[in-house]
Structure 1
Amino acid sequence: KVAFGVLGERTKKAPELTSISDRKSNDPVLDSQFLEKVESVRRSAILQKKAEEDRIYQPIDYDTPIESEQKTIGLGLKVGVGVAVLVFGLVFALGDFLPSENGLPSDGDAVVKRKLSEKEKSSLEATFQHFEETLTNSPTDPSALEGAAVTLVNLGEYERASSLLEKLIKERPENSEAYRLLGEVKFEIKDYEGSASAYRTSLSNCKSLDFEVLRGLTNALLAAKKPDEAVQVLLSSRDRINAGDNFGSADSSDKLNEANKNNPIQVELLLGKAYADWGHISDAVAVYNQLISKYPNDFRGYLAKGIILKENGKVGEAERMFIQARFFAPENAKKLVDRYSRR
């Protein structure tokens, strides 16, 4: 997936997935060592998240192979260390927001899997072994389940991580972040029905609209060949936005405010994609027309409309959209527009 833009922190302090103080032990020394292991995983995830943010703040080179989400899917489970939200400038993954185009490489072709070094792998395996020992004695320990799941995700062992996450949500059924990560993991193992179910629960548990959860749910439903359900979810979310519901937390940071301003655009892009996948081309075009009318200086509406027009044989009209998209696109997005217009 190709992503461009900036990531904003949802919270100043990373929230915990589970309360570490919930875990009790009869051995203070072992208990202290265990807690240090959990905190070590969280600290590592925070550093990874910071490095990822620093990378995304830089200009994008679209010719450079893009690492898969294997390293970011687990950023502390994207749970124990808080959640980064997509914010404007230039944020959207092509496969997530734009209508499908024949001839585009599949995710498997376009993505270069990140490989762990032997040192990283050995360290993660040792960490997992420690959590596994704890789970042998306390199978439902939330902190151990969290730490083990984090570690397995970073090892790329999604099947095993999924099993632990399902156990974890039984212990913490109200935790929307745990369900969200379960949705991500199940999507990775191509259990799209399970992914959609997890995302739905996460979305229902959120106090306010969470765009990352909404995007994940949309993608899972489309992958499960249920575009009609995706459309209904997005229309409902659009109504909530129009009613004044915001995305994410109540954090008042500038980055989050920008995210909230941008997310309605991204919801419309997702809606257009869902309509296109459903075969409702005229509805998709209508969504893009409305987007262009409301945000005439945003290149994404022109680009999305150009793609769908081109796919439906309206090459001349599509070319005009691509010209507009390139005109309004920031410098580091012009290559992206060119890539689509020249196919």
Structure 2
Amino acid sequence: RNGWKQLEAVQQKKAEEQKEFGPIDYDAPAESDKKTIGLGTQIGVGVAVVVFGLVFALGDFLPSGSTNPPEEAAVIDKKLSNEEKATLQTRLKQFEAMLSISPKDPTALEGAAVTLTELGDYARAASLLQDLAKEKTSDPDVFRLLGEVKYALKDYDGSAAAYKLSAMVSKDVNFEVLRGLTNALLAAKRPDEAVQFLLSSRERMNSERLNRPNLKADSNKMETELQKVDPIQVDFLLGKAYSDWGHVSDAVAVYDQLISSHPNDFRGYLAKGIILKENGNVGDAERMFIQARFFAPEKAKALVDRYSRQ
């Protein structure tokens, strides 16, 4: 038990350091609720996005200007200490022992898959997650983590397929799935599908806002659910997808709308500046960068400078 406490303390310290010193994420989604399963540790696919170490920086929302998957969407390799590795390997053996007795046990499959993900063994994690998906066919978190693992393995089509299943079985629009599927489709050179998916998701969000009954309890629940997805974030992803697709005017129109509706948000100016510069409109791009720098919070000004100089 002391080992679990030490691991949790180390993970918490790393998380705090990453928040302070890591890539700036101005739109960090709310953390998922932790699931507690056996062996005295908190673990599960619901929190594996934190365990997995996927870091999506501001660049995740901006036009990439590159045919390669964005660096910001790549998996950040975790440097595990020997103690952490030993703890994880011990935990894995316990789950594997459970699986040797009951190969389809969902708790053991889930625990082993997440532990393998923590250890960076994505191929084995993917295999177990596929087995788990057969047992938990309606759990969107299982398919979401499978999408992340497949992305780490550079199986972008497989990643997109998993994210689509997650979206299909989920009752709500989940931003982690929106972002993950968008990145997977763009990496798979399928930007048209990314655009269509984002447009339909945006339509679904708007429809849910308008059509839910006006009962107070239900209204409060709806607000909580919809707060998980910021429409501005969806629009930034849409602009990026249009940009990757080569539909520059559509991307610019999205950014113009964002600037109009959120004139104090530096990201709209920055995104528009990047796409204008990529397409040779240097003068107008520079004006956008000046605006972006003016509205950017202090810690983001250097980031604006970096993009403006590229």
TM-score of the two chains, using structure 2 as the length reference: 0.79
Confirm or deny that 1:264 pairs with 2:213: no
Instruction: Say if 2:172 and 2:225, in contact at 8 Å, map to a contact too.
Output: no
Q: Are 1:164 and 2:128 counterparts?
A: yes
Q: CA deviation at 1:196?
A: 0.7
Contact 1:309 1:315 in 2 (8 A): yes
Match of 1:282 in 2: 249
Rounded Cα–Cα distance in structure 2 between residues aligned with 1:61 and 1:179 = 26
Structure-2 change in CA distance of 1:57 and 1:127 (3 Å): closer
Change (3 A) 1:60 1:225: closer
Over 3 Å counting, the alpha-carbon distance change for 1:47 and 1:181 in structure 2 is farther
Question: Which position in structure 2 is the counterpart of 1:234?
Answer: 198
In structure 1, distance between residues paired with 2:160 and 2:67: 27
Say whether the 8 Å CA contact 1:78–1:177 is kept in structure 2: no
Q: What is the aligned partner in structure 2 of residue 182 from structure 1?
A: 146
Count of residue correspondences: 280
For 2:79 and 2:219, locate their aligned partners in 1 and report how far apart those are by CA, in whole Å: 35
Which of 79, 86, 104 is the equivalent residue of 2:45?
A: 79
* Aligned residue in 1 for 2:89: 125
**Counterpart amino acid of residue 323 in structure 1:** I
1:140–1:262 Cα change, 3 Å: closer
Q: Judging changes above 3 Å, is the alpha-carbon distance between structure 1 residues 225 and 104 closer, same or farther for their aligned structure 2 residues?
A: closer
CA distance in 1, matches of 2:246, 2:257: 19
Partner of 1:318: 285
8 Å CA contact 2:61–2:240 kept in 1: the answer is yes
The one-letter code of the counterpart of 2:161 is S
Deviations 1:75-124 (A, max 9, x none): 9776244877xxxxxx962442100136999639x986332112211221
**In structure 1, what is the equivalent of residue 32 of structure 2?**
none
Which AA in structure 1 matches 2:95?
A: F
Q: In 2, Cα distance between the equivalents of 1:215 and 1:241?
A: 15
Measure the CA separation in 2 of the matches of 1:259 and 1:231: 20
TM-superposed CA distance for 1:251, in Å, is: 11
Could you report, residue by residue, the CA deviation over 1:150-190 in whole angstroms, capped at 9, with x for unpaired residues? Answer: 11001000000000000011011010011100000000001
Paired AA for residue 212 in structure 1: E
Distance 1:229 1:260, change over 3 A: same
Which residue does 1:213 correspond to in 2? 177
Distance 2:296 2:225 in 1: 18
Q: Take 2:17 and 2:231, find their aligned partners in 1: how far apart are those partners?
A: 25
8 Å CA contact retained: 2:269, 2:289: yes
1:59-98 to 2 correspondences below 5 Å? 79-81=45-47, 93-98=57-62
Asked whether the equivalents of residues 208 and 245 of structure 1 are also in contact (C-alpha less than 8 Å), the reply is no
- Closer/same/farther in 2, CA of residues 241 and 55 from structure 1, 3 Å limit: farther
Go from structure 1 to structure 2 and tell me whether the alpha carbon gap of 1:234 and 1:176 turns closer, same or farther (over 3 Å shift). same
Please state how far the C-alpha of 1:61 moved relative to its aligned partner: 7.6
1:146: Cα distance to partner? 0.9
Q: Could you list the runs of 5+ residues in structure 1 that have no partner in the other structure?
A: 1-35, 63-74, 85-90
Please report how far the alpha carbon of residue 261 of structure 1 lies from its aligned counterpart in structure 2 after TM superposition: 8.3
Give 1:341's aligned amino acid. Answer: S
Alpha-carbon distance change, 54 to 244 in structure 1, aligned in 2, over 3 angstroms: farther
Contact 1:183 / 1:199 at 8 angstroms: preserved in 2? yes
- What's the offset of the Cα at 1:50? 4.8
Matched residue type, 1:321: M
Quote the sequence identity (%). 59
Does the aligned pair in 1 maintain the 2:166–2:177 contact within 8 Å? yes
Q: Secondary structure at the match of 1:290?
A: helix
Residue ranges of structure 2 left out of the alignment (5+ in a row): 25-40, 211-217
- 2:262 is equivalent to residue 295 of structure 1: yes
The higher-RCO structure (CA 8 Å, 6+ apart) is 1
Secondary structure (helix, strand or coil) at the match of 2:230 reads helix
Residue in 2 that maps onto 1:273 = 240
Cα offset, 1:242, TM superposition: 2.3
Instruction: Confirm or deny: 8 A CA contact 1:45 1:81 kept in the other structure.
Output: no
The counterpart of 2:118, out of the listed 154, 159, 163, is: 154
Q: CA deviation at 1:142?
A: 0.7
Residues 12-27 of structure 1: matches in 2 within 5 Å?
none
1:193 to 140, 154, 157: 157
